[in-house]
Amino acid sequence: MTPKNIPNRERLIFAMDVADPQAARQLVEQLGDAVVFYKIGLELFMSGGYFELLDWMVARGKKIFVDLKFFDVPATVAAAVRQLSGRGVTFATIHGNQAIMEAAAAAKGDVKILAVTVLTSLDRGDLDDLGFTVDVEKLVLSRARRALEAGCDGVVSSGLEAPMLREFIDHRLLVVTPGIRPVENKPVDDQKRTVDVAQAFANGADYIVVGRPIRDAADPRAAAEAIQQTIARSLAGASA
């Protein structure tokens, strides 16, 4: 594990991928203290009421990850990131080149900036389609190095690449790992480069992002609590 003082129960980030703010509020209330940290992304942004929902969640002591993956000319990205300062946002994601990352980092204020490396829904074939000729691992490592140099606080990366990041990148870098599947991944799932909860932390992740395994469970709160217990056992084992 990385030497960071992160409360165990904040290491689980629930991906709030629902259709509207009303459904989001119902989930927050249903999950209760089983989830502290929430990721709210494009689906909720496009539904309307995004910032009202954000403020409502912050008022209830929740931590917020704004996952809008800002990607535009550097000045526009900087202006967008600046709008998040002072709103109680913990993380925000960006895409893009060195100039975009530097602009976001310079404008971040009290928000930690996470650079997306390679989406966990992409594999080698997808990168070929996009015109990238490097291996996934080399691309992730390059993106992570450049993010740290640009002043970003961390990266979003598959747990499969986390060991490499811990070996070759400064431990100051936060590693946030999506594509977590507590059980074997279903063929219909769009996530391709996945790990389970224990493997993510063993590989060096600081946080995990979990969506469907909680949202689609018969009892979402019980599912979230089960993941919290797995996190606690994993971290206890790592420190033993």
**pLDDT tens, 94-139?**
998 999 999 999 999 999 999 998 655 555 555 556 566 567 778 7
Which amino acids are annotated catalytic? 69
Q: How many domains does the chain have?
A: 1
Residue 1 is assigned to a structural domain of this protein: no
Residue 233 is assigned to a structural domain of this protein: yes
**pLDDT tens, 59-79?**
999 999 999 999 999 999 999
Look at residue 101 and give its three-state secondary structure.
helix
Residue 168 is assigned to a structural domain of this protein: yes
**pLDDT tens, 159-196?**
888 888 999 987 889 999 998 876 544 444 444 446 89
Residue 83 makes CB contacts below 8 A (sequence gap 6+) with: none
Conformational region of residue 179, where left means phi above 0, alpha means psi within -120 to 50, and beta covers everything else? left
Residue 109 is assigned to a structural domain of this protein: yes
Work out the mean pLDDT of the chain and round it to a whole number.
88
Q: Which helix (H) or strand (E) holds 15?
A: strand 12-15
Residue 3 is assigned to a structural domain of this protein: no
**Residue 8 DSSP symbol:** G
Residue 204 is assigned to a structural domain of this protein: yes
What's the confidence (pLDDT) of residue 3?
Answer: 59
What's the confidence (pLDDT) of residue 128?
Answer: 54
| Structural domain boundaries, residue 30 | 8-239
What's the confidence (pLDDT) of residue 137?
Answer: 78
Asked whether the beta carbons of 158 and 181 are under 8 A apart, the reply is no
**pLDDT tens, 162-171?**
888 999 987 8
Residue 199 is assigned to a structural domain of this protein: yes
For residues 55-61, give the mean pLDDT: 98
CATH number for the domain harbouring residue 50: 3.20.20.70
Residue 2 is assigned to a structural domain of this protein: no
